[in-house]
Every structure is written in structure tokens, then in C-alpha cells.
Amino acid sequence: MESKKGVISVQFNWVFILIAGVLILLFFGSLVLNLKKNSDITIADTIITNMQTIMTGAEVSVRTINPITIPDKEIKFSCDSISIGDIRKDITKNKIVFAPEVIKGRTLLAWALDWNTPYHVTNFLYLTTPNIKYVFIKPLDQEAEELFDLLPDKINKKKEDLSDIKDTGNYFKLVFFDYSNPQVPPHLNSVSNNKVSAINIISGTNEIEFYKKKGAQFEPVGKANYLGNPMILGAMFSGNLEDYECNVEKAFNKLGIVSMVYEKRTDYLRDLYAGSSCISYYDPSLFSEIAEISKEKITVNSIQLIKGLINNIELKNENLQSYSCPTMY
């Protein structure tokens, strides 16, 4: 009887030790996982903070491309945020960043360009990586050639006929000009759909068509408007139509604010030079009209109206210069 009790006692002790051991392992395993999660959160937060600093610095270095070494993490961008994993931080409304949806790799290319209409409105920041190849589809007219030349040489860019484009393992962004029906290059038919996309610039109406690859064909996603080459490049660097439209809205909001400043300046100059030969060329209403149009949804018609007002402003400014009068901008 005592022998049986001893055996049961020993068995119970082993079961208790086993349970206690499992609980200890679970505790330390959970502790390690939590520490790793907290470490990942801290690292992600640091990377995003550093990225925001990098973007601010690159934005003011206009027309200078900055290759930047970054941690090998998947960084996601949208029009109004930057995120790594579950960590997300906002991109402010006054910062306009055109970037792919996801940036991977160790090298980030940051480049800024000023947007003028014709007076300076803001700077656009473009982000990309060497793994994204931007291909301008031949034939190219003079304006398309100028746009290509505007891109820094460190950007992975090429000019090619559609039939000559080969799969080099890159992500591809194809840029068409006034094509009636953009086609997927034959050698890219078997490439994953998410690695190939395209835009088509319609110069006559200042519109840009966005396409995504679906098998051996391009499928239209939608179209948006542009004003000036910096916006065309914004569409080229953007990961999708929605982010592009969001950034364009930010840009036109800024245009409205800056235009109101020039309206007040022109109104002041008109009062200051009343009675002189300068007075007839000071027209603050041109700026106020641009400000009003910029508040509305941007359409083909509103772009044409703004272009007409810009031409008028440029002409009046030239006349002011010829008469040695202070210019409006």
C-alpha cells in the first residue's frame, strides 16, 4: 500500500514539474516575443522619423538627386502617410510626395522639382529606387525628349521602342505619349502583373491615363489632369491614380493660397503706382480667378482656364519689365 502511494507521489511530482516547465517556457517565450515586437516597433518608428527628416531635407534641395542608404525594410507610402508594419505617421498637407506604394531595398533616390505657374508655388518631392525602371516609349516628340532629359541620370530611365523592351527583373513604369491604345511590350507579357504599369500623356487636353497590367493587355484605371511637366513626372513616380489625384489636390490648394498672396501684392502695386504708365498692367483679378478655380474640382476646362490666365499674367509681367515697373511676381 505504501509502495503504491510512493509511485503515485513520484508520478504526481513529475506531472507537476512538467506543467511548471511548460508554464515557464511559455512565460519566457511570450517575454521574448513581446521584447522583439517592442524592438520592431521602436526600429520602425525610428526609420519613419528618419525618413521624414530625409524628405524635408530633399524637398528643399531642388533639382539635386540624393541617393540615400536606408534599412532593408518594406516602407509603404500613400498621399498622406508613411508606414512600416503597423507603425504609421502622417505626411502633412503642405508636403507633396510622389512615390511608389512600396519602397524596398537599400537605396532610396530622392529628388525635388519646383512647380511654377509661372510664379513659384511649391516644390514636389519624388521618391523611387534603382529597381524601378522608367521607360519612355518611342517615338518621342521634342516635349517628351525634354521631359526625359529633365530626369536625373541616376534615375533608372530609358527610351525604347515597345518591341525592344526586355525583362530585366525590374519593376517597369512605361510612359506613353498620345497613344490611342497603349500595349504591353511582348517580352513583358509573362511578367507578374504588379511589376508593370503605365501612363499615357494626352497633351492636347492636359490629361494622363493610368493603366495596370492584366495578362498581355493594359487595363485602363482612370484619368486625371496635369499642369506642367512636374505634374507629369508626379504621375510617373506615383504608385496609383488615387495617390496622384490626392497630391494634385494638395498642389492646387497651395496654388490658391499663393495666388491670393500675389493678388494682394498686385493690388498694393496698383495703388502705389496709380497715375503712372505701369497702372494698366497691374491686374490682381488674374490671381483671384486662379485662386477661385483652384478651390474647385480640377477638370479639363479648369486647366485650360488657368493656362489662359497664366499666359495673361506672363504677358503683363513682360510689359511691366519693358517699362521698368515692379513686376507682379
Q: Do residues 207 and 283 share a domain?
A: no
The residue whose grid cell reads 530609358 is 158
Last residue of a domain, one of 215, 239, 263: 239
Least Cα distance to 141 among 175, 181, 118 occurs for 175
In a domain, 4, yes or no: no
The residue whose grid cell reads 497702372 is 279
| Beta-strand runs (E) in 85-195 | 87-90, 96-98, 102-103, 107-116, 120-128, 132-137, 157-160, 171-177
Chain segment 271-307, per-residue pLDDT in tens:
999 999 999 999 999 999 999 999 999 999 999 999 9
The residue whose grid cell reads 497651395 is 254
Q: Do residues 270 and 233 share a domain?
A: no
Least Cα distance to 124 among 62, 204, 32 occurs for 62
Using pLDDT thresholds of 50, 70 and 90, give the confidence band for residue 46.
confident
The residue whose grid cell reads 490629361 is 207
C-alpha cell at 273: 503706382
Chain segment 140-185, per-residue pLDDT in tens:
999 999 999 999 999 999 999 999 999 999 999 999 999 999 999 9
In a domain, 170, yes or no: yes
Q: Into how many domains does the chain fold?
A: 2
Last residue of a domain, one of 187, 211, 239: 239
Q: Do residues 124 and 263 share a domain?
A: no
Name the packing angle between helices 241-272 and 229-237 (round to 10°): 160
| Beta-strand runs (E) in the chain | 66-69, 75-77, 81-84, 87-90, 96-98, 102-103, 107-116, 120-128, 132-137, 157-160, 171-177, 196-202, 207-214, 217-225
**pLDDT exceeds 60 at position 37:** no
Q: How far is the C-alpha of 119 from the C-alpha of 173, rounded, in Å?
A: 31
pTM here is 0.85
Contacts of 163 (CB under 8 A, 6+ apart): 185, 186
Domain that holds residue 109: 46-239
**pLDDT exceeds 90 at position 15:** no
Q: Do residues 112 and 259 share a domain?
A: no
Percent over 70 (pLDDT), the chain: 87
In a domain, 2, yes or no: no
Q: Do residues 109 and 193 share a domain?
A: yes
Q: Do residues 152 and 258 share a domain?
A: no
In a domain, 193, yes or no: yes
